[in-house]
């Protein structure tokens, strides 16, 4: 199975943005040789969201949100699908009251992503069926940037189930889409995954645990180092730019381990923390370590499947309070975690004296808000 070169994959995601204002019936013309050398977009072209369903109000009925290409030359028989990111989806993405939905592989995903993907599905069916019917050997290449990467992930799973073709997924700066069962099932639902990130891009770090990236405990392609948080790190062209860093061959790009590490934090060292993707990851690992040490990880992980995200954090705060009440090292672990979270969220003057569920829930709230505020800003600047 032949994967797209990094430059072809990233431009497939980028040029989907150019389809936004094309009306139905208009032909999409790819501009980059990296695409035109391998795919012809004149037959299928632009996918619009007005085909066969009552659309979410997040999409204008005349908006193009994806491009479809037919393979030529060494990709003859293959199909390319590029899905754009959109600021219109940011509210569904950052809604702390969002729930859990079921994806096409019967795993649990963020309801905001699933709702929008379902609104796209009839239009994708209409465009892809002629290309994949009686074409069982063709590989489908799904690519997306930002929130488009989340939709490309759901599309890749659906395409595999609907048509049975081999599917390769390429995402650039995409957020986490689902829970751990979604991450695990993605390995069986998608033939190959290339998840590309910039080290300072906050969007791939959210939603936070219990959401996971796929492949779970695998590796991602880290295109630039992690030194802090930068809104420009999420862009396609400005700053480091995914189009400028996704070059060469996949095997020569840096791999980054996504394995969950054991992390226990000391309250006295909380000021070492800062608002960075590095520390966001450490905080997530420290929370998981705390729950595992106290024997609550399985019970807490199961809770998110039966409640909304906001209710889950209420349950999580109550559980962390129970752990703190155990005293000794557990109380110190909780205090260390909360102290680091406060510094991460910019609340450096707030000390941890209260280990009640109410205070713990507030710390979770300000930490999540700090992350989502930055992620929203990065996404807003895309449109």
| CA 102 distance to own-chain centroid | 16
pLDDT in the model for residue 260: 86
Helix axes 357-380, 328-344, angle to 10 degrees: 30
Assess whether pLDDT exceeds 60 at residue 57: no
Whole-angstrom distance, CA of residue 106 vs CA of residue 83? 22
CATH code of the domain covering residue 116: 3.40.50.1820
- Looking at the fold, whether 248 and 338 belong to one and the same domain comes out as no
- Looking at the fold, whether 275 and 234 belong to one and the same domain comes out as no
Look at residues 87, 93, 149, 156 and name the one whose alpha carbon lies nearest to residue 121.
156
Assess whether pLDDT exceeds 70 at residue 265: yes
- Looking at the fold, whether 339 and 216 belong to one and the same domain comes out as no
| pLDDT per position as a tens digit, 2-52 | 899 999 999 999 988 887 777 666 677 777 788 888 998 887 677 765 433
| Structural domain ending residue among the three candidates 225, 259, 293 | 259
Query: Omega of the bond prior to 210 within 30 degrees of 0, cis?
Result: yes
Question: What are the structure tokens assigned to 275, written together?
Answer: 């608002």
Question: What are the structure tokens assigned to 171, written together?
Answer: 């995402």
Beta strands in the chain (DSSP E): 39-48, 64-71, 79-83, 100-102, 108-110, 140-145, 167-172, 192-198, 219-224, 255-257
Count the neighbouring beta carbons within 10 Å of the beta carbon of residue 326: 12
H or E stretch covering 75: none
Question: What are the structure tokens assigned to 272, written together?
Answer: 């070492």
Domain extent at residue 349 = 267-378
pLDDT in the model for residue 294: 97
| pLDDT per position as a tens digit, 275-324 | 999 999 999 999 999 999 999 999 998 887 666 666 888 999 999 999 99
In the chain, the percentage of residues whose pLDDT exceeds 90 is 53
| pLDDT per position as a tens digit, 219-254 | 689 999 888 899 999 999 877 899 999 999 988 898
| Structural domain ending residue among the three candidates 198, 231, 259 | 259
342-350: list long-range contacts, CB under 8 Å, 24+ apart.
342/270, 342/366, 342/367, 343/270, 343/271, 343/273, 343/274, 344/273, 344/274, 344/275, 344/279, 344/280, 344/283, 344/370, 345/275, 345/369, 345/370, 346/275, 346/370, 348/271
- Looking at the fold, whether 10 and 93 belong to one and the same domain comes out as yes
Assess whether pLDDT exceeds 70 at residue 97: no
- Looking at the fold, whether 178 and 303 belong to one and the same domain comes out as no
Helix axes 328-344, 309-325, angle to 10 degrees: 140
| pLDDT per position as a tens digit, 126-145 | 889 999 988 889 999 999 99
Contact 373, 362 (CB under 8 A): no
Whole-angstrom distance, CA of residue 334 vs CA of residue 320? 7
pTM > 0.85: yes or no: yes
In the chain, the percentage of residues whose pLDDT exceeds 70 is 88
Count the neighbouring beta carbons within 10 Å of the beta carbon of residue 303: 17
**Total number of domains in the chain:** 2
Whole-angstrom distance, CA of residue 150 vs CA of residue 153? 5
pLDDT in the model for residue 224: 92
Contact 158, 121 (CB under 8 A): yes
Q: Is residue 275 part of a domain?
A: yes
Q: Is residue 383 part of a domain?
A: no
| Structural domain ending residue among the three candidates 203, 235, 259 | 259
Whole-angstrom distance, CA of residue 215 vs CA of residue 259? 10
């Amino acid at each position: 199975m032949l994967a797209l070169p990094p430059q072809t994959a990233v431009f497939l995601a980028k040029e989907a943005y150019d389809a936004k204002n094309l009306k139905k019936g208009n032909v999409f013309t790819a501009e980059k040789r990296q695409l035109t050398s391998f795919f012809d977009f004149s037959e299928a072209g632009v996918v619009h969201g007005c085909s066969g369903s009552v659309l979410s109000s997040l999409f204008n009925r005349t908006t193009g949100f994806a491009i479809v290409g037919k393979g030529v030359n060494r990709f003859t028989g293959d199909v390319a699908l590029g899905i754009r990111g959109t600021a219109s989806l940011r509210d569904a993405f950052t809604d702390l009251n969002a729930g859990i939905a079921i994806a096409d592989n019967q795993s649990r995903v963020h309801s905001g992503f699933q709702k929008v993907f379902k609104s796209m599905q009839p239009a994708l069916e209409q465009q892809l069926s002629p290309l994949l019917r009686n074409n069982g050997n063709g590989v489908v290449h799904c690519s997306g940037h930002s929130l488009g990467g989340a939709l490309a992930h759901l599309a890749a799973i659906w395409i595999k189930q609907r048509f049975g073709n081999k599917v390769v997924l390429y995402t650039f700066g995409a957020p986490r889409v689902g829970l751990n069962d979604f991450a695990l099932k993605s390995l069986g639902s998608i033939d190959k995954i290339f998840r590309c990130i910039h080290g300072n891009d906050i969007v791939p770090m959210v939603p936070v645990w219990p959401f996971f990236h796929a492949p779970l405990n695998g590796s991602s392609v880290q295109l630039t180092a992690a030194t802090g948080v930068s809104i420009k790190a999420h862009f396609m062209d400005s700053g480091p730019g995914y189009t400028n860093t996704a070059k060469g061959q996949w095997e020569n790009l840096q791999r980054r381990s996504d394995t969950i590490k054991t992390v226990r934090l000391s309250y006295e060292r909380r000021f070492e923390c800062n608002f960075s993707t590095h520390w966001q990851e450490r905080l997530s690992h420290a929370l998981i370590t705390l729950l595992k040490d106290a024997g609550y990880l399985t019970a807490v992980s199961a809770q998110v499947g039966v409640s909304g995200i906001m209710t889950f954090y209420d349950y999580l705060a109550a559980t962390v309070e129970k752990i703190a009440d155990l005293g000794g090292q557990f109380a110190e672990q909780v205090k260390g975690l909360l102290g680091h979270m406060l510094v991460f969220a910019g609340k450096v003057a707030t000390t941890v004296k209260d280990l009640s569920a109410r205070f713990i829930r507030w710390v979770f709230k300000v930490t999540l808000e700090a992350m989502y505020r930055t992620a929203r800003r990065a996404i807003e600047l895309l449109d």
